[in-house]
Chains A and B, each alone.
Chain A
Amino acid sequence: MHAAGLAAPAGTPRLRKWRTWLAEEIGRERVWRGRRGGWRGHSRSDGGQEIQDLVFLGVHSAGMPSPGRGRVAASKRRVPVSQPGMADPHQFFDDTSSAPTRGYGGQPSPGGLGYPSPSSSHEAPFLADPMSNMAMAYGSSLAAHGKELVDKNIDRFIPVTKLKYYFAVDTVYVGKKLGLLVFPYLHQDWEVQYQQDTPVAPRFDINAPDLYIPAMAFITYILVAGLALGTQDRFSPDLLGLQASSALAWLTLEVVAILLSLYLVTVNTDLTTIDLVAFLGYKYVGMIGGVLVGLLFGKIGYYLVLGWCCVSIFVFMIRTLRLKILAQAAAEGVPVRGARNQLRMYLTMAVAAAQPLLMYWLTFHLVR
C-alpha cells in the first residue's frame, strides 16, 4: 500500500498529508529562512515579497502554511499574485480579457449534421453533404489560421500587452478615481506602488493611470456634445465627427508638445506616452460634468461646475506630475540646482494650466 501510495498521486487525504508533511516542513523552513531579507522564494522568480500569495497557496503543494491562515491574511490586501500557471511571469495583473477560444472545429459538425436528407433516393444533396462538410472544415481551419497569424503579429503594431495593463480596472477603482478627479484635496499619498520595477495594475492602486476612464469619458463627451447641440437645434451628424476630430487633434497636439518639452528639458522620467495620454484624458470627466450641468441649469451652473472641475484637475495634475517629473531629479541624487528644478516646475505648471484652458475651449460653444 505504501508503494502504491508513493506512485499514485491520488491517495486518501490523510495519506497525502503524511506523505507531504515532511516536504512541507522542509519547504517552509527554506521559505522562512529567507525572511530576514524578505521572502526569498526558492522556486519562484519574485523575491522580497512580504505578501502571501493567495493563489500560490492553492497550487503549490510544498512549503505552504495552512491555507486558512494565508487566505485570511491575503484578503486584507488586494495585491496581485504571480500565478505559476500563467504564461507571462511579468504580467502583474489578472488578465480577465481573454475569452476562452473554443476553436472553430466545433462548428462544422453540428452544421454538417444539421442538413437533413429526408429522402434517401435523392442522391444530389446526400452527395453534396460531404463536400459542403469539407468546404466548411477547410474554411474554418483557414479562419483559425488567419486568427493565429493576426494574434501573433498584432503585437508588432499595437502594444497589446502594454495596453491591457491600462484597462485592468474594476468598478471600485473607477469610482474612487472619479471621486479623486473631482475632489483631490484630501488625498495624501500620490505615489504609484511598484512591484519589482513594474507599476502595479490600476485595479490595486488608485494612483496608477488607466485608459478606461479617458476612453469612456471621451466617447461620453462626444455624445454629450451631440446632445447639447441637439437641444439647441444646431445638430447635424457630421458635427459629431467634427467634435471628435477636434478633441483628438487637441489631445495629439498636447501630447506632442509635452513630449517635445520633456525632451528639451532632458527630464529622465518613466512617464510613457500612454501614461501621458491617460493623464491628459482625465479632463474629459470635468468637461462632461460642466456641459451636463450647463444643459440643466444654464450658464451659471456651467461656469460653477466647470470652475470647480478646472481647479480640481489643476491640483490633480500638479500633484501627479510633480512626482513623475520632479522627483526623478531628487531620486537620482543629481545636485538640486535651482535653475533646473525651476524649469521642471514651470513645465509641470504649464501642463497643468493648459488643462483648464482646453476644458473651457472645448466646451464653451456647447452651452448657450
Chain B
Amino acid sequence: MAFTLYSLLQAALLCVNAIAVLHEERFLKNIGWGTDQGIGGFGEEPGIKSQLMNLVRSVRTVMRVPLIIVNSITIVLLLLFG
C-alpha cells in the first residue's frame, strides 16, 4: 500500500504546477479554453466546460505566488534530503 499522504501531497503539487504552466495565448485559446471565450448568458446555468475554465483561471490567479514559495521550499528540501 504505497499510497501515503506524502505521495498525495507530491501529486497535488505537481497537478497545481501543471495547471499554472498552461499558457493563456499559445495553448488555451487554441483549444477554446481561453478566459474570454467562456462567457455564457447571465440567466443560464454554467455548463461543465465554463466551470472548468473558471476553475483553471482561478487556480492560475490564486496559486501563482504561493506556488513560487512552495516550489522553492520543495526544491531545497529535496536537494538536502533526497
Contact = CB atoms under 8 A, between A and B. Distances in A.
Interface of A: 242-243, 245-246, 248-250, 252-253, 263-266, 340, 365
A266 B52 CA distance: 11
A55 B55 CA distance: 49
Interface residues of B, number: 13
B47 to A, nearest CB: 9
Contact of B1 (A243, A264, A340): A243
Contacts of B7: 249
B45 to A, nearest CB: 6
Given A252-B5, A263-B51, A266-B45, 4 more contacts: A242-B1, A242-B4, A245-B5, A252-B8
B4 A266 contact: no
B42 interface: no
Nearest to A243: B1
A264 B4 contact: no
B81 interface: no
B48 interface: yes
A134 B6 CA distance: 48
Interface in B10-57: 45-46, 48, 51-52, 55
Secondary structure at the B interface, as helix, strand, loop or mixed, is: helix
Contacts of A246: 1, 3-4
A109 B5 CA distance: 48
A264 B5 contact: no
B8 A253 contact: yes
A249 B1 CA distance: 11
A266 B51 contact: yes
Contacts of A250: 3
Contacts of A252: 5, 8
A266 B44 CA distance: 12
B77 to A, nearest CB: 19
Contacts of A249: 3-5, 7-8
A250 B7 CA distance: 11
B74 to A, nearest CB: 18
